[in-house]
Amino acid sequence: MTLIVPYFISFLAGLCVVLSILKDNKRSLSSLFLISVSFGLGLALCSMSTFFCTILFEGYHPLLILFLNVSLTALLGCLNIGPLKRFSAQLLIEIKASIKNGFVWAGSIFYIILCFYIRFAASLHPWGDWDAWALWNMKLKFILYNGADWTDIFHKLHWHTQPDYPLLLPMMNAWGLCLYPQYPQINAPMMTSILFTLLGVLLLYSTLSLFIPRLHAYLASLICLANPYYVYKATAQYADTAFTYYLLGCLVFLYLAVQYKERSFASILGLFLGVLSFCKNEGIAIFLLIASIFLLSLIIHKEISNPTRKNIALWFLGSFFFAAVATIVLKFLAPANRDILTNLNGQLSYFNWEGILLVKKHILEEINDKRWVHIWHIGLLLSVLGIPKLLRRDIWPITVFLLSYFIILLFIYLTTTTMDLSWRLKSTVPRIFFYLMPAMLFITFLIHFKKDPAKDR
Amino acid sequence: MPSKFKISLSFVLTLVIFWLVGLNIIYGCITVLSKTQNRKPVFEPGYQFEDIRKILKQEKIVGYLTDRNISPEKNDQEFLLAQYMLAPTIVEVNNHSYQFLILDYTNPSAVINKLKEIKAKPIYKNMYNKVLALQRP
């Protein structure tokens, strides 16, 4: 029971932040959408505050961290009493309307059954897979038990432990354990992985249901939850699960910000990007891509005035840098990455046609892997059938992002110098497919099933 | 594009997606059944070093000497398992500068040779052939 308290505090903190940002937004956003966005942002906020507390107070002090996070949440709550009341009223109305809806009942019952399924999948690997115990949970132990010397994880551990990796996940688990810090406890890392599995799916469903029929939005979410390989990977306690959620959040808000040109959506996009950069190193590359695409879209779309354009851009960048402070501080503490874009002046043995063919071979093997149960075949089919729509005014930023990200990944693979490329592809391609799956479902379902654009809420 | 064709494409895609979801649900049920029937106990990673952790509780850094492959591609995870189980004690791979050393060799005679070479005294050995040695300063 005590394990739930920190997560609930995070949810409240995130809800206050999101409602505060969206208070002037005129769009009709469902309660489920607000909940799924708030929970993730709230967890990130508490994770970052845990990180700063651990640095400032030279070690992990759970009660102090709890006091600070509770105080922060209380302060945010006091500042947002009006939006919280309106949200509560909206939630009650939606619940009353849903009670009479058979689709909601059936869908909810099926989701509950799938929650038990997720819990079962998590119990098959209660300590997570390789990276979970070798990196994230190992670093968690250093944070919990090494006092002021927790920073040993940056400079004194073997390079196999990836000392340059960001700390969103271990700090989040440290926060989750603040009332229950006796280790070895597998509860917080497992709880976090289950929560992000559900949040990713709920975010996918709630966003799509704003634009496409609810049945199709529900089917999109079921594709993730019904696939046993996806659920197994999601509960492996890797940072990839949180990364999946935050990446989807970035694309959702990129879509909303480009579609509606509203400062509030741009702000939340900035927050998601900042959090993403503290989740995995790829987040920094994704920020550069999405920021460029978003700012370009502001320039290209002429229907907004220059002052509005500047206002939106400033709020976007300001929110990003606010959320990325933790990443910036981390870069001063952690060593440089030794695997990505290193030794570019040296011999690049894979930067040739053979390297490209090797990457292609592994990608095709992954698409055809029976564990995905044809999901990627159908995803590619939907993409090919929807090619003209992929360059639509509201969709092109996401299309350009996905294509650019693929090119960046290809470049990183071809410039591999510190390890065997085949081994690297075998280890990382399944995980890339995993964290891109909700994004793929988001864009393909949006292009094929979006209701009349003129009737957008 | 004629509107009838548009509706039909959407309808066909919906059917395809229903088929995909159904297939995944069936595959998921089969997976759950097979995992339930063939369930094996899961041990905490690094259980091979759990008893050594109890001895080394207060140590800041220990050396870990091994003849195992520790390259990214071929390592068998043993030293990472040791690092996980012994955390927050730091495990220094192939460095015998420390008082306490863990020797993890694939060949028992290699352990004896190494102990003689570095003049360390074995103080504990567990059932997984992990040897804890003490080196005089």
ipTM: 0.90
Listed in sequence order, the DSSP H helices in B75-119 are 78-86, 108-118
Task: Name every residue whose Cβ is closer than 8 Å to that of residue B29 and which is 6 or more positions away in sequence.
Answer: none
pLDDT in tens, B112-123: 999 999 999 999
Of the candidates A263, A260, A324, A255, the one whose C-alpha atom is nearest the C-alpha of residue A290 is A255
pLDDT grade for A455, boundaries at 50, 70 and 90: very low
Higher pLDDT among residues A200 and A181, named by residue:
A200
Task: Name every residue whose Cβ is closer than 8 Å to that of residue A19 and which is 6 or more positions away in sequence.
Answer: A34, A38, A80, A83, A84, A86, A87
Bridge partners (DSSP) of residue B120 are B135
Average pLDDT of chain A, as a whole number: 92
pLDDT at B74 over 80: no
Output helix, strand, coil percentages for chain B, rounded to the nearest 5: 45, 20, 35
pLDDT at A343: 61
What's the whole-number mean pLDDT along residues A41-57?
Answer: 97
pLDDT grade for A192, boundaries at 50, 70 and 90: very high
What is the share, in percent, of chain A residues with pLDDT greater than 70?
95
A158: tokens are 């073997």
By C-alpha distance, the chain B residue nearest A379 is B17
What's the whole-number mean pLDDT along residues A104-133?
Answer: 91
DSSP 8-state assignment for residue A426: H
Task: Name every residue whose Cβ is closer than 8 Å to that of residue A448 and which is 6 or more positions away in sequence.
Answer: A382, A385, A386, A389, B10, B13
Q: Is the dihedral of CA B69, B70, B74, B76 positive or negative?
A: positive
Chain B hits for A381, CB-CB cut-off 8 Å, are: 16
pLDDT in tens, A387-396: 999 988 889 9
> Using an 8 Å Cβ cutoff, are A298 and A309 in contact?
yes
Alpha carbon distance A309, A296 (integer Å): 11
> Locate tokens 């290809």: which residue?
A410
Chain B hits for A127, CB-CB cut-off 8 Å, are: 42, 44-45
- Decide: pTM greater than 0.90: yes
Q: Determine which of A115, A130, A141, A205 to mutate to test the interface with B (most B C-beta atoms within 10 Å).
A: A141
pLDDT at A26: 79
What's the whole-number mean pLDDT along residues A204-212?
Answer: 95
Higher pLDDT among residues A426 and B2, named by residue:
A426
Alpha carbon distance A221, A202 (integer Å): 7
By C-alpha distance, the chain A residue nearest B22 is A226
Highest mean pLDDT among A175-189, A241-255, B4-18: A241-255
By C-alpha distance, the chain B residue nearest A231 is B28
> Using an 8 Å Cβ cutoff, are A269 and A22 in contact?
no
CB contact under 8 A, B84 and A130: no
pLDDT at B136: 78
CB contact under 8 A, A184 and B44: yes
The number of beta carbons lying within 10 Å of the beta carbon of residue A207 is: 29
CB contact under 8 A, B28 and A117: yes
Task: Name every residue whose Cβ is closer than 8 Å to that of residue A118 and which is 6 or more positions away in sequence.
Answer: A194, A197, A198, A225, A231, A234, A235
> Using an 8 Å Cβ cutoff, are A70 and A344 in contact?
no
> Locate tokens 């900042």: which residue?
A274
pLDDT grade for A28, boundaries at 50, 70 and 90: confident
pLDDT at A181: 66
Using CB atoms, pick whichever of B20, B32, B71 lies closest to residue A374: B20
Q: Please check whether residue A149 touches B, CB under 8 A.
A: yes
Of the candidates B82, B85, B84, the one whose C-alpha atom is nearest the C-alpha of residue B103 is B82
Alpha carbon distance A443, A208 (integer Å): 9
pLDDT grade for B61, boundaries at 50, 70 and 90: very high
Alpha carbon distance A419, A421 (integer Å): 6
For the sheet containing B131-135, what is the strand order? Answer: B90-93, B61-66, B100-104, B131-135, B120-125
pLDDT at B41: 86
CB contact under 8 A, A223 and B17: yes
Decide: helix, strand or coil at residue A24: coil
pLDDT grade for A183, boundaries at 50, 70 and 90: low
Pairing label, strands B100-104, B131-135: antiparallel
> Locate tokens 């979970």: which residue?
A132
Using CB atoms, pick whichever of B32, B75, B88 lies closest to residue A120: B32
> Locate tokens 């271990």: which residue?
A170
Alpha carbon distance A111, A120 (integer Å): 14
Task: Name every residue whose Cβ is closer than 8 Å to that of residue A2 and which is 6 or more positions away in sequence.
Answer: A179, A180
Decide: helix, strand or coil at residue B62: strand
The number of beta carbons lying within 10 Å of the beta carbon of residue A281 is: 16
Q: Is the dihedral of CA A401, A235, A168, A332 positive or negative?
A: negative
Q: Determine which of A119, A136, A378 to mutate to test the interface with B (most B C-beta atoms within 10 Å).
A: A378
CB contact under 8 A, B21 and A130: no
pLDDT grade for A6, boundaries at 50, 70 and 90: very high
pLDDT in tens, A284-308: 999 999 999 999 999 988 778 888 8
Of the candidates A173, A183, A153, the one whose C-alpha atom is nearest the C-alpha of residue A65 is A173
Q: Determine which of A227, A229, A382, A444 to mutate to test the interface with B (most B C-beta atoms within 10 Å).
A: A227
Angle at A175 between CA A174 and CA A176, to 5 degrees: 90
CB contact under 8 A, B25 and A375: no
Size of interface A-B (CB pairs under 8 A): 115
A180: tokens are 């229950």
pLDDT in tens, A230-280: 999 999 999 999 999 999 999 999 999 999 999 999 999 999 999 999 999
Task: Name every residue whose Cβ is closer than 8 Å to that of residue A295 and which is 6 or more positions away in sequence.
Answer: A313, A316
Decide: helix, strand or coil at residue A409: helix
pLDDT grade for A136, boundaries at 50, 70 and 90: very high
pLDDT at A448 over 70: yes
Listed in sequence order, the DSSP H helices in A280-324 are 282-300, 306-323
> Using an 8 Å Cβ cutoff, are B6 and A207 in contact?
no
What is the share, in percent, of chain A residues with pLDDT greater than 90?
78
pLDDT at A457: 40
Alpha carbon distance A130, A172 (integer Å): 19
pLDDT at A54 over 60: yes
Of the candidates A85, A39, A2, the one whose C-alpha atom is nearest the C-alpha of residue A194 is A39
pLDDT grade for A456, boundaries at 50, 70 and 90: very low
pLDDT at A335: 86
pLDDT at A240: 96
From start to end of chain B, where are the E strands? Answer: 61-66, 90-93, 100-104, 120-125, 131-135
Using CB atoms, pick whichever of B13, B27, B83 lies closest to residue A138: B83
CB contact under 8 A, A130 and B93: no
pLDDT at B2: 55
pLDDT at A341: 60
Chain B residues whose C-beta sits inside 8 Å of any chain A C-beta: 9-10, 13-14, 16-18, 20-21, 23-25, 27-28, 31-32, 35, 39, 42, 44-46, 60-61, 70-73, 75, 77, 79-81, 83-84, 87-88, 90-93
CA distance B100 to chain A (A): 17
The A residues from 212 to 251 touching B (CB cutoff 8 Å) are 215-216, 219-220, 222-223, 226-228, 231
Alpha carbon distance A53, A309 (integer Å): 36
pLDDT in tens, A148-177: 999 999 988 888 888 999 999 999 999 999
